Amino acid sequence: MLRYELLHPGLVAALAAAGHGSRVLLADANYPHSTGARLGAARVHLNLRPGLLTVDQVLEVLLDAVPVESAAVMVPGGVAGDVVAAGEEIPAHTGYRELLGGDVGWQELDRFAFYDAARSDDVALLVATGDQRVYANLLLTLGVRTPAT
């Protein structure tokens, strides 16, 4: 029996197999879950229904289990017909910054640069959520667990 909040066997196994510098993609419901991460990345589907679970809910539990060094988010890149204008505040990102705190590096990538980063060789895990917010994808880089933590 685990003593912390993360109980999902697939998530625990994938995180245990990852190490410093590995990346974890928390993907919203609009993200291409089957093709949007490298083929060998573990995939955990927590998208039970629209809105359940959200990226924030998964992030909150993951932060209890792993150290996070940096985070990248997807932002509009000037694509015609985009639902969010370039430079417009994205509500999901505000919540992520609050949960991550000020010590975690932050990067904003346009949609196609984000897709490229999510398909890189260091992506160990994709977690599919039911989050319906636009641009709610979050790419975490795992940090180092120091002897005191």
Q: CB under 8 Å, gap of 24 or more: what pairs does 15-20 form?
A: 15/62, 15/65, 15/66, 15/125, 17/42, 17/124, 18/66, 18/124, 18/125, 18/142, 19/142, 20/69, 20/142, 20/143, 20/144
**Region 66-78 average pLDDT:** 91
d(CA 101, CA 48): 28
Position 81 pLDDT exceeds 70: no
Q: What is the CATH number that goes with domain 21-142? A: 3.40.1650.10
For 141, residues 6+ apart whose C-beta sits below 8 A from its C-beta are 21, 22, 23, 68, 69, 70, 71, 72, 105
**Identity at 100, one-letter amino acid code:** L
Q: 91: which 2 tokens?
A: 């509500």
pLDDT band (50, 70, 90) for residue 1: low
pLDDT at 79 over 90: no
- Whole-angstrom Cα distance, residue 131 to residue 18? 24
Q: Tell me the average pLDDT across 27-45.
A: 96
In which band, very low, low, confident or very high, does the pLDDT at 78 lie, cut at 50, 70 and 90?
low
Q: Which residue has the higher pLDDT, 91 or 85?
A: 91
User: Is 14 within 8 Å of 97 (Cβ atoms)?
Assistant: no
pLDDT of the residue at 89: 84
Q: 26 near 95, Cβ under 8 Å?
A: no
Query: What pLDDT is stored for residue 146 in this prediction?
Result: 82
Query: Would strands 68-75 and 105-110 be described as parallel, antiparallel, or unpaired?
Result: parallel
Per-residue pLDDT of 45-63, as tens digits, reads 999 999 999 999 999 999 9
| DSSP β-bridge partners for residue 139 | 25, 72
Mean pLDDT of 85-106: 90
| Global confidence as pTM | 0.92
How far apart are alpha carbons 129 and 26 in whole angstroms? 7
